[in-house]
Amino acid sequence: MKIALAQLNYHIGNFESNTKKIIDHIQLAKDSGADLVVFAELAVCGYPPRDYLEFDEFISLCENAAQEIAKHCTEIACIVGLPVKNEILEGKDLFNAAYFIENGKVKSVTKKALLPTYDVFDEYRYFEPATSFKCIDFKGKRIALTICEDLWNINDNPLYVSNPMDELIEEQPDVMINIAASPFSYTHDDERIKVLADNAKKYNLPVFYVNQVGAQTEIIFDGGSLVFDADGVMKAEMKYFEEDLQVFDLTEVEHVRNKYPQPERLTDIEQIHDALILGIRDYFQKSGFTKAVLGLSGGIDSAVVCALACRALGAENVMSVLMPSKFSSDHSVQDALDLVNNIGCMHEIIPIKEVAESFDHILVPAFKGLPFNLAEENIQARIRGIINMAMSNKFGYILLNTSNKSECAVGYGTLYGDMCGAIAVIGDVYKTQVFELAKYINKEREIIPVNTIVKPPSAELRPDQKDSDSLPEYDVLDKILYQHIEKKQGSKAIIEQGFDETLVRKILKMVNIAEFKRYQTPPILRVSPKAFGMGRRMPIVGKHLI
C-alpha cells in the first residue's frame, strides 16, 4: 500500500480554498501512484476554528465540503479532518473527527479522544471526547487512525487516564496514522520526534504522521510530517515551513532502511527566522493585506523586524518611518538609513521634535512645574505611534509591532506608543535571541548595519539613555525570564540556581505588574514553548510574586 502525506497550508473558514487545495492534492497523490492520501486535523475548516464552531452554518459548510471532497476519491482513498456533530444529546455538540473516504463515500468516522486544554489549546470548550475506537480495513491492511493528541499521552507524567492506542492495538493493526495540527515552537520538533518514535516502539508498528503548515494569526504550524518504522527509526522527515506532498510505500517503510531523503535539521535561530517569515506572510495574505509600515529607530529590534518583513512581503511593500527626536543620536538616524539602503525598502523621515515641544508647551499649566520624567518620555513614544497609525490610515499600511519578549515581559514599553501594532513580530523572541537573529540575517551579506548590532540598546527618550539604566544586562535578564516564563519557575527555585535574590524578586515583580500592558498589545507570533497571549493566562490584579 502506498500512502501519500499531504502537508498543506489551510485558511480558517475559507472552505472554497481549502476544499480546492485538498481536491487538487487528491489528484496529485493519485497521479503519484498513491492508494491513500492523508490530510491534517480539521483540514476542511482550518485549525483552530475557535468560536466559529458555535455556528451551525459553519458545521454545515464543513460537511458540504467533505461531501464535495468525497466525489473525487475514486481509485484512491483519503483521510481528512473536520468537526462533526454529536448525535447524542448529552455532552458537547461536536467531535473533532476524521473521515475515511473510499469510492466516493465516507466509510468510517474516527473521533478524537484526548482533547488538549492547555497553553494555546482549548478543545474541550467545543468537543466531546471519543470513548470507543475501531481500526479501518483498507487494501488488506488494518489502520489505527488517531488524531494529534491521541498519541501524546506517552510520557512520565501523562495528562490523561487512557490511551486510544491501547484499545486499537487489540485489533492487531498493521500501521498507525496520526493526523495533526501541532503548533511550532523552536523546541517542539525534537519533542514530536521522540513522542512518535516512542509510540512506534511501544506498539511495534510503523507510524505515518501528517502535520499542517502555515500561520493562523499568532499560531504557526511548521509541517515536518514524519514516518517511522516499527523500531522507532525515522524513515522520512518532510519539509519545514513549506507545503509538501510525499508518497511512501508501506512495505519499504517496514523493511528498507534510509529509503527516503531527510532534510538537514535547522538550528533554533534558523527555525525562528523561518517561522517569523511564514507568520508575517500568512498574516498578510490571509487577511488580504499587502503592505506594512513600522517605525525604524536605528535600533536592533526595528532593524530585525524590517528585514524579516522585507523577506516575507518584498522590500517594495515595506514602509519604514524614521522619527528622530531631540534625543536621537546622529548615528541612530544613519544606522536606520544604512539599513534602508541595504535592503531597498520605502522610507520617510518625520522628525518629532516640534510635536513633542508642542505637547510640552500645552501641558505646562497641568504639569505644574514638575521635572521631566517618564511622562515626557512616553509622550514621544505615543507621538511615534500616532504617526505610524496615520501612515497606516492614509495609505492602507498594516503596522508591525517591534517590541521584543524581554521588553514585553518587564513592561519596558509604552502603551499606545511603541507597543501598538496589528501583529507583534518578535514579541516571543528574547533580546539575546534578537541579536542572534540579526547575525543570521547578515550571514551572506551585511543587511543590518554592524553598528546597530554592537551599540548599547537605547530607547533614546532622554539624554544618554541606555536600556541598562532601567534593566539588568540582557544576558542575565533573559536567563531569569526564561526560567520564569518557559520553565514556570518561581522566585525561590530561580534563586536556588545561583541568581541574585534581590534581582530575581525585582524582575518577577516587573513581570507581574506589567500584565495589564500585555492584555492590550497585539497578537504575538508564537515561536517559543510559552508565549505571551492566549497561551499564558495570568490575572492582572494577582498578588503572587509581587
Annotated binding residues for deamido-NAD(+), written as ranges, equal 378, 407, 517
As a whole number of angstroms, the distance between CA 455 and CA 157 comes to 45
The answer to whether the CB of 132 falls within 8 A of the CB of 162 is no
| Residue stretches of the annotated binding site | 118, 182, 295-302, 378, 402, 407, 517
Q: For residue 98, which of 34, 148, 33, 170 has the smallest C-alpha distance?
A: 148
For 31-72, the DSSP string reads HTT-SEEE--TTTTT-S--GGGGG-HHHHHHHHHHHHHHHTT
Output helix, strand, coil percentages for the chain, rounded to the nearest 5: 40, 20, 40
Q: For residue 9, which of 305, 327, 222, 290 has the smallest C-alpha distance?
A: 222
User: What strand order describes the sheet that includes 346-349?
Assistant: 346-349, 318-322, 292-295, 398-401, 423-424
User: Residue for cell digits 471532497?
Assistant: 69
Distance, C-alpha 10 to centroid of its chain: 14
Cell digits of residue 75: 481509485
Quick check: is 148 catalytic?
Answer: yes
Quick check: is 170 catalytic?
Answer: no
| Residue stretches of the annotated binding site for L-glutamine | 118, 182
Residue-wise burial string across 240-249, b where 16 or more C-beta atoms lie within 10 A, e elsewhere: bbebbbbbbb
178 burial via Cβ count (<10 Å: 0-12, 13-18, 19+): buried
488 burial via Cβ count (<10 Å: 0-12, 13-18, 19+): exposed
- Residues 2, 112, 235, 286: which is the catalytic one? 112
- Residues 73, 135, 148, 420: which is the catalytic one? 148
User: Residue for cell digits 509600515?
Assistant: 293
Quick check: is 41 catalytic?
Answer: yes
User: What strand order describes the sheet that includes 244-249?
Assistant: 105-111, 94-102, 77-85, 36-38, 2-7, 244-249
- Residues 30, 41, 128, 405: which is the catalytic one? 41
Cell digits of residue 101: 473516504
Coil, helix or strand for 210? strand
Provide CB contacts within 8 A for 454, sequence distance 6+: none
Cell digits of residue 415: 502603551
Q: Beta strands 2-7 and 244-249: pairing type?
A: antiparallel
Coil, helix or strand for 476? helix
The answer to whether the CB of 243 falls within 8 A of the CB of 237 is no
Longest CA pairwise span in the chain (Å): 87
As a whole number of angstroms, the distance between CA 215 and CA 200 comes to 29
Name the residues annotated as catalytic: 41, 112, 148
